[in-house]
């Protein structure tokens, strides 16, 4: 077993989501899902992040568009109070270009998490073309926007999700654009023969097992899903040695270049600056097309 890249650090949550500090993380941030897409704007690459979150007030939606240098071009926040109408649009002028964001959640069905399961759409339109369409109500989106499709440019490149549980942490994941959706479960057994163990299951099949977890609380291993090699990284230091409020961090990377990506990061990342450097390495690698990454932040409910 190879050592887990130390740039995750003991507060590994800060690697991929700098807006959510692991020291003072709010409950709303623990209940959030962020999907990142690579698209084309004016012939140039950009990243579109769609974040779903849920708090005591209700559902929240945030859409952010960043350019290739990671500078925010525009951002649209849909506050819980606006979900009373469940649909709307917003037009933004950016560098003399009109960017329109449309959303409709009138028929949206939500599960236990903040992300809708079905019955919705989010469409982003530039110069009469839909550059990104998320959700299953595709016909309704084209009818509402009156736009044509340029969806071949949109690529789903990463997902960051916060999940919670006592010993079992579950979500659904798809590791390729045209691949099936799988049930993904992470199981933590703190009393396995007095030696904590970690199991990862895909569709109820065990694909990875880590014993002697107190010695191997960070590491990485390769698994096969849909014929793809998926590199799995984990950091459960906070589960074993923290105050009980911390989280485990897991990354599933469908690229053979994953190890290279981390090996080129700083070897010691205790400071905020180093953790930010690791985050930038991740974001830069996304623009180079290294594949899909799934980040899971698993919070233990005692």
pLDDT in tens, the chain (302 residues): 343 333 333 333 222 333 343 434 445 456 889 999 998 877 788 899 999 988 777 778 999 998 877 788 888 888 755 555 678 899 988 777 788 999 998 888 888 788 898 999 999 998 888 999 999 999 999 999 998 876 567 888 899 999 888 899 999 888 877 778 899 999 998 777 678 899 999 999 999 999 999 899 999 999 999 888 899 999 999 888 876 567 899 999 986 444 444 443 333 222 233 233 334 434 444 444 457 899 999 998 76
Specify the pLDDT at position 7. Answer: 34
Query: Residue holding tokens 């949550």?
Result: 13
pTM: 0.76
* Short-list 216, 181, 217, CA closest to 202: 181
Specify the pLDDT at position 255. Answer: 63
Specify the pLDDT at position 11. Answer: 31
Specify the pLDDT at position 56. Answer: 75
- Is the Cα dihedral 146, 147, 149, 155 positive or negative? negative
Specify the pLDDT at position 151. Answer: 57
d(CA 278, CA 15): 6
Q: Are 278 and 15 in contact (CB under 8 A)?
A: yes
Specify the pLDDT at position 8. Answer: 36
Specify the pLDDT at position 29. Answer: 53
């Amino acid at each position: 077993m190879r050592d887990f890249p130390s740039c995750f650090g003991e507060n590994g949550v800060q690697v991929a989501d700098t807006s959510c500090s692991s020291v003072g993380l709010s409950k709303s941030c623990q209940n959030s899902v962020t999907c990142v897409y690579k698209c084309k704007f004016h012939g140039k690459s950009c990243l579109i992040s769609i974040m779903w979150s849920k708090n005591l007030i209700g559902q929240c939606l945030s859409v952010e568009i960043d350019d290739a240098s990671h500078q925010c071009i525009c951002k649209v926040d849909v506050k819980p109070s606006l979900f009373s109408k469940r649909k709307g649009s917003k037009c933004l002028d950016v560098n003399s270009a009109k960017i329109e964001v449309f959303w409709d959640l009138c028929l949206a069905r939500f599960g236990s998490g903040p992300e809708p399961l079905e019955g919705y759409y989010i469409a982003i339109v530039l110069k009469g073309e839909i550059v990104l369409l998320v959700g299953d109500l595709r016909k309704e989106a084209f009818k509402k926007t009156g736009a044509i499709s340029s969806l071949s440019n949109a690529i789903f490149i990463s997902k960051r999700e916060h999940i919670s549980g006592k010993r079992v942490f579950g979500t659904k994941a798809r590791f390729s654009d045209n691949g099936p959706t799988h049930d993904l479960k992470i199981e933590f057994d703190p009393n396995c023969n007095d030696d904590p163990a970690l199991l990862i299951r895909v569709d109820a099949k065990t694909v990875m097992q880590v014993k002697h977890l107190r010695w191997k609380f960070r590491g990485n291993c390769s698994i096969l899903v849909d014929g793809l090699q998926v590199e799995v990284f984990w950091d459960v230091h906070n589960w074993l040695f923290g105050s009980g409020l911390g989280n485990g961090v897991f990354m599933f990377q469908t690229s053979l270049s994953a190890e290279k990506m981390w090996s080129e990061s700083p070897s010691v990342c205790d400071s905020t600056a180093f953790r930010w450097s690791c985050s930038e390495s991740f974001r830069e690698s996304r623009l180079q097309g290294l594949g899909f990454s799934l980040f899971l932040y698993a919070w233990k409910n005692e």
